């Protein structure tokens, strides 16, 4: 059995090595000057407006209201019949990365449909560069299917994702996450994911699968995932694998299923990469994680777990406040209805 696992890991690490070479080439290309003349801002009211972002990759764009299946342009651009049944074409592919800003202003993009199992870098956005920022955006009730590098919001993030979320189903091959496929040196902050994340489970497939992010070499802080995560190797409730970088003040509750390197919070991580973070041992179905501290559901719904440093696994208290049902304390990053709910981000109240 050890020989079989060793062979499987050798093959998988070889695949990772090839992938890292490709990612390094991509990162090198990001430094190129894409457009000497900054494009005009877009105010996005229809799917056609959203589609125009791909022609203004360095611009500053704002979503003006929710988009869904009833919004003009859906059938042609983002629905199950769009683009020959493949649905939405991700913004910012490897021929032109997204380097601008996209402010969702608290609105949602709903009913997004992508079915591109043979394609890499699949999500609403394909690639976000170091200067790119997506914030205050929700993607809800959506279905995203891709190959290697697949995320509900972005496949490959070198920039900043904040105050954003994805709910729905994401399916891919390797490097698959509910919000981000791989966070390659980027920042993901005050964001969350829900629904389900699935990686292919054949020999050598289904690696780096996470409820929030498939893989990370950057910073993830003040985030959570309730999404289930299913894969083969390196499967985590929050992050499948941390190659480098950090996870701080975050948690996961989703059920996690896999074969090797499976964790309620993280499937695989360097020592010290994860701090002040937790997972629910009961809802996840596992007491194991390569980082973080496992708690019972009752403990996960207690504010003491997050602000009392006598709690095992808590070195610094979270910026958290207890509120009543329906209440919000936006002076703090996190809110919780003590004894009744898991922590939630204060910006969620009223959103």
Give 278-303 pLDDT, tens digit per residue. 999 999 999 999 999 999 999 999 99
Question: What is the rounded distance in angstroms from the CA atom of residue 164 to the CA atom of residue 209?
Answer: 19
Q: Tokens 């105050």, residue?
A: 163
Give 162-193 pLDDT, tens digit per residue. 999 999 999 999 999 999 999 999 999 999 99
Give 213-231 pLDDT, tens digit per residue. 999 999 999 999 999 999 9
Ordered by where they begin, the domains of the chain are 40-300 (2.160.20.110)
The pLDDT-based confidence of 200 (bands split at 50, 70, 90) is: confident
Q: Judge whether 200 and 206 are in contact, CB under 8 Å.
A: yes
* Distant-in-sequence, close-in-space partners of 42: CB < 8 Å, separation ≥ 6: 49, 52, 53, 56, 59, 61, 62
Q: Judge whether 210 and 239 are in contact, CB under 8 Å.
A: yes
Q: Judge whether 121 and 181 are in contact, CB under 8 Å.
A: yes
Question: What is the rounded distance in angstroms from the CA atom of residue 128 to the CA atom of residue 119?
Answer: 17
3-state secondary structure of 57: coil
Give 89-101 pLDDT, tens digit per residue. 999 976 689 999 9
Give 323-335 pLDDT, tens digit per residue. 999 999 999 999 9
Average model confidence (pLDDT) for the chain? Answer: 89
Q: Tell whether the model's pLDDT for residue 30 goes beyond 80.
A: no
Give 255-267 pLDDT, tens digit per residue. 999 999 999 999 9
- Residue 12: which H helix or E strand, with range? helix 2-30
Q: Which residue has the higher pLDDT, 30 or 330?
A: 330
Averaged pLDDT, 311-320: 97
Give 53-79 pLDDT, tens digit per residue. 999 999 999 999 999 999 999 999 999
244-281: string of b/e by CB count within 10 Å (b at 16+)? ebbbbbbbbbbbbbbebbbbbbbbbbeeebbbbbbbbb
Question: pTM of this prediction?
Answer: 0.89
Token pair for 178:
């509910």
């Amino acid at each position: 059995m050890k020989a079989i696992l060793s062979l499987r890991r050798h093959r998988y690490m070889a695949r990772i090595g090839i992938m890292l070479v490709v990612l390094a080439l991509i990162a090198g290309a990001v430094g190129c000057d894409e457009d000497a003349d900054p494009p005009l801002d877009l105010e996005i009211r229809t799917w056609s407006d959203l589609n125009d972002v791909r022609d203004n990759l360095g611009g500053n764009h704002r979503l003006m209201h929710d988009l869904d299946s009833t919004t003009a342009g859906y059938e042609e651009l983002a629905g199950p019949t769009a683009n020959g049944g493949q649905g939405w074409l991700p913004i910012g592919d490897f021929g032109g990365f997204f380097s601008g800003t996209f402010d969702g202003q608290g609105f949602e993009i709903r009913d997004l449909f992508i079915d591109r199992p043979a394609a890499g870098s699949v999500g609403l956005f394909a690639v976000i560069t170091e200067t790119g920022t997506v914030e205050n955006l929700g993607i809800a009730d959506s279905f995203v299917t891709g190959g290697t590098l697949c995320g509900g919001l972005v496949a490959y993030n070198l920039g900043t994702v904040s105050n954003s979320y994805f709910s729905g189903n994401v399916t891919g091959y390797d490097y698959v996450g509910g919000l981000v496929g791989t966070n390659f040196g980027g920042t993901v902050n005050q964001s969350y994911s829900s629904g389900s994340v699935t990686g292919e489970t054949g020999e050598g497939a289904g690696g780096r699968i996470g409820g929030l992010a498939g893989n990370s070499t950057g910073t993830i802080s003040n985030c959570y995932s309730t999404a289930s995560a299913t894969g083969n190797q390196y499967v985590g409730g929050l992050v499948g694998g941390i190659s480098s970088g950090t996870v701080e003040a975050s948690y996961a509750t989703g059920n996690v299923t896999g074969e090797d390197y499976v964790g309620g919070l993280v499937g695989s991580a360097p020592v010290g990469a994860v701090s002040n973070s937790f997972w629910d041992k009961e809802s996840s179905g596992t007491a194991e994680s390569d980082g973080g501290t496992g708690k019972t559901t009752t403990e996960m719904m207690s504010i003491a777990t997050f602000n009392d440093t006598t709690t095992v696994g808590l070195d610094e208290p979270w910026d958290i406040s207890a509120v009543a049902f329906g209440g919000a304390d936006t002076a703090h990053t996190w809110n919780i209805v003590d004894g009744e709910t898991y922590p939630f981000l204060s910006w969620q109240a009223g959103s």
